[in-house]
Amino acid sequence: MSRTQISDFLVDEVTEHVYIRETYGKTLVELGREYPNIVVLDADLTVSTKTNLFGKEFPNRFFTMGVSEQDMMATAAGFALSGKIPFASTFAIFATGRAWEHVRQSIVFPKLNVKIVATHAGVTVGEDGATHQALEDIALMRVLPNMTVIVPADAVETEKVIRTIVNHNGPTYVRLARVKFPTIFKKSYEFEIGKARVLREGKHVTIFAVGIMVCEALEASKILEREGISACVVNVSTVKPIDVETIVKAASSTGAVVTAEDHNIVGGLGGAIAEVLGENYPTPMKRIGMKDRFGTSGDGLQLLEYFGLKARNIVQAVHELLEFNSQKKSVVL
Amino acid sequence: MHERTKNVDILKEIARRVRIDLLKALHRAKSGHTGGSLSSVEILVSLYFSEMRHNPKNPRWGDRDRFVLSKGHGVPALYSVLAHAGYFAREELMSLRKLGSRLQGHPEYDLEIGIEATTGSLGHGLSAANGMALAARMDGKDIRIYALLSDGELQEGASWEAITTSSYRKLDNLCAIVDRNRFQNDGAMKDIKDIEPVPDKWRAFGWEVEVLADGHDFPSILSAFEKARQTKGKPFVIIANTIKGKGVSIFENQGKYHGVAPSDDELKVALNELGEAA
Ligand SMILES: Cc1ncc(C[n+]2csc(CCOP(=O)(O)OP(=O)(O)O)c2C)c(N)n1
Ligand SMILES: [Mg+2]
């Protein structure tokens, strides 16, 4: 494959691994200096979500809500109704699960300008186990009309996302994780709400990915390339509103689709892509992700292996899909 | 049924060993909640070695008393107590939080190892205990239900929904215990979101309240359980003033040891203080 088919936004080689929640915390502090209207709320997890950094610099705009996620979300709504720009953070399971109905009624239905930035999504939470691993947060936020749902793929994108959403008026959910993410983007990377990014062109299969799985998808495309399979890789960091045009174009150019996410394949990215393609360009597809099951305790990165969320699992799905497509063709013939 | 004792020296010795094992397990796991595990030890030892009727050799025994660890993150202490009571081998404690282990980071319902309810998300456990207490009453079972809550957990609205249900339903077969160590994840509760006056609030919600000045003192814990059993027509709560990190000087009242496991050096200090060679 020629170099021109690989996005200029990608680093040549991954050399850095970064806690994207730390990027969030630091970016929030910088934004706090520019925007006096930003207030930050957290539900007794400030050290983990890194909102504590904002709290240190702006104690008067920082609200420790205690272990009260529902209260936190509705309070954030009140701040938004009073012209503030509230960021509300806690673990993804509590932000989207525990407080879901408060988020729905008090924030999203009235289209309030609340930024929910949740950390510790997915199985990479690790040792805390199934109760703490949000595998349904994308789904829970995506079913809400008016909601914007963003899943950054690395630290560079996280910073751009946080800076972008400050100027976006409306309810927003940003999904971050616990473990360090490989930095895959150059500083020049451009993020735009609602825009999926083709990171690599390809002819035989399209891999749509979010979060830490974008790196795995790129890794998979390299393995596939050595086998003579050319894979297109797309970062669908905005899961809602979803970029129908880019998705249909990328799927139709290859005729085979694999999705990859650290989330339940039901209702998450896999579900979202299936909805788009089902109505616009039905394409054979396979979904890599949590296969409608709960997580478990273990090292976060080890769990990606255990649950089949690695580049080689994407490669295997591609093989099965291309095999299926070729058999289908021979049946038609 | 499990042999029970009121002998304070025996209970103290069990508590010492429970602490040693839970700290070794947390150290091996390299993550987990140290402070809130240590603050619950005497309460849990009292329940499993003195107060509750249960049988580790027959964990599904229908007439056993039930225990719900509403503060699920404190489960290393419960696992250690369950191992010492004979539900599973102490060696299994070293699998805490590892892939494939029954000893999950937060408790998952598994009667084989003595876990009665899945918890870990704060503010659920007392409701589950209410359900058990209502079912026991329906079935005419003379059993008792216990739930251990943390003080930070009382910031959850759901806790107060449950607290209201227990008193409205007059659940006198239910005894709640609050591990009142006055710390939560982010620091001292008074600096994060103060919830005092805790005993008055429970009283106002219709509970019989017993405040323990020292939630690590076995005789007072045991006599509070005795009072609870004798109280009719109302649910009973023991508000136990405890010390987060109790038993290890470097962890005591140190907010930062809420969610961190002991390092190699810290484990050495801890084992030394607990009279165990590393
Ligand atoms: C609903 C919910 N929100 C947040 C958490 C994360 N969390 C775990 S422990 C804890 C607070 C710990 O303080 P406390 O409840 O007082 O427990 P203890 O001091 O006994 O350890 C928090 C916020 C959780 N487990 N459940
Ligand atoms: Mg506490």
pLDDT digits (tens, 9 = 90+) for A278-319: 999 999 999 999 999 999 999 999 999 999 999 999 999 999
Q: How far is B116 from B119, CA to CA, in rounded Å?
A: 9
φ, ψ for residue B49, nearest 5 deg: -110, -5
Angle at A132 between CA A128 and CA A134, to 5 degrees: 135
Are residues B127 and B119 in contact, defined by beta-carbon separation less than 8 angstroms? no
CB pairs under 8 A between A and B: 94
Catalytic residue numbers of A, as ranges:
69
Q: How far is B159 from B223, CA to CA, in rounded Å?
A: 26
pLDDT at residue A111 tops 90? yes
Fold of the CATH domain A17-182: Rossmann fold (3.40.50)
pLDDT at residue A115 tops 70? yes
Confidence of residue A102 (pLDDT cuts 50, 70, 90): very high
pLDDT at residue A261 tops 80? yes
Mean pLDDT across chain A: 96
- CA A79 centroid distance within chain: 26
Confidence of residue A325 (pLDDT cuts 50, 70, 90): confident
Q: What b/e string do you get for B189-208 counting C-beta neighbours within 10 Å, with b at 16 or more?
A: beebbebeebbebbeebebb
Residue range A182-198, pLDDT digits in tens: 999 999 999 999 999 99
| Distances, alpha carbon B148 to alpha carbons A94, A233, B39, B207, B238, in Å | 21, 50, 12, 15, 9
Low-confidence stretches of chain B (pLDDT beneath 70): 1, 278
| DSSP classification of residue A94 | I
Q: How far is B127 from B123, CA to CA, in rounded Å?
A: 8
Cβ contact, residue pair A67, B101, below 8 Å: no
B156 closest CB neighbour out of A42, A67, A127:
A67
Q: With a threshold of 0.90, does the pTM exceed it? A: yes
pLDDT at residue A333 tops 70? no
- Residue B142, Cβ density class (10 Å: 0-12 exposed, 13-18 middle, ≥19 buried): exposed
Q: Is the CB of B181 under 6 A from ligand 1?
A: yes
| pLDDT, position A5 | 87
Which residues are CB-contacts of B3 (< 8 A; sequence separation ≥ 6)? none
B-facing residues of A in 107-126 (CB < 8 A) are 126
CATH for the stretch A3-11+189-332? 3.40.50.920
Domain with CATH 3.40.50.970 in chain A: 17-182
Distance A222 CA to ligand 2 centre (A): 49
| DSSP classification of residue B90 | G
Element spanning B209, H or E: strand B208-212
- CA A145 centroid distance within chain: 18
Angle at A240 between CA A237 and CA A243, to 5 degrees: 70
Cβ contact, residue pair B157, A64, below 8 Å: no
Distance A33 CA to ligand 2 centre (A): 34
From B40, B122, B189, mutation site for ligand 1 pocket: most ligand atoms within 8 A of C-beta: B122
Tokens describing residue A252: 């139709």
| pLDDT, position A324 | 86
Residues of A in contact with B106 (CB under 8 A): 128-132
Distance A234 CA to ligand 1 centre (A): 38
Question: What percent of chain A lies above the pLDDT cut of 90?
Answer: 95
Query: Which residue stretches of chain B are H helix?
Result: 8-29, 35-38, 41-46, 75-85, 125-138, 157-168, 189-192, 198-204, 218-230, 264-273
pLDDT at residue A1 tops 70? no
- Residue A4, Cβ density class (10 Å: 0-12 exposed, 13-18 middle, ≥19 buried): exposed
Q: Which of A213-217, A322-326, B213-217 has the lowest mean pLDDT?
A: A322-326
Are residues B77 and B22 in contact, defined by beta-carbon separation less than 8 angstroms? yes
Q: Is the CB of A71 under 6 A from ligand 1?
A: no
Tokens describing residue A209: 């990915």
Pairing of the two strands A257-264 and A285-290: parallel
Fold of the CATH domain B8-273: Rossmann fold (3.40.50)
Q: How far is A50 from A177, CA to CA, in rounded Å?
A: 12
Domain boundaries, chain B: 8-273
| Distances, alpha carbon A121 to alpha carbons A117, A135, A300, in Å | 11, 7, 11
Residue range B15-58, pLDDT digits in tens: 999 999 999 999 999 999 999 999 999 999 999 999 999 999 99
| pLDDT, position A212 | 98
Q: Which of A65-79, A242-256, A315-329, B16-30 has the lowest mean pLDDT?
A: A315-329
| pLDDT, position B3 | 79
Q: How far is A267 from B89, CA to CA, in rounded Å?
A: 41
| pLDDT, position A328 | 78
Collect all residues from B whose CB is shorter than 8 A from any CB in A: 29-32, 72, 97-101, 104-106, 108, 118-123, 152-153, 155-157, 184-186, 189, 191-193, 195, 259
| DSSP classification of residue B117 | S
φ, ψ for residue A282, nearest 5 deg: -50, 125
Residue range A8-58, pLDDT digits in tens: 999 999 999 999 999 999 999 999 999 999 999 999 999 999 999 999 999
Residues in chain B: 278
Q: How far is B147 from B158, CA to CA, in rounded Å?
A: 15
φ, ψ for residue A71, nearest 5 deg: -55, -45
A68 closest CB neighbour out of B30, B156, B186:
B156
Q: How far is A314 from A305, CA to CA, in rounded Å?
A: 12
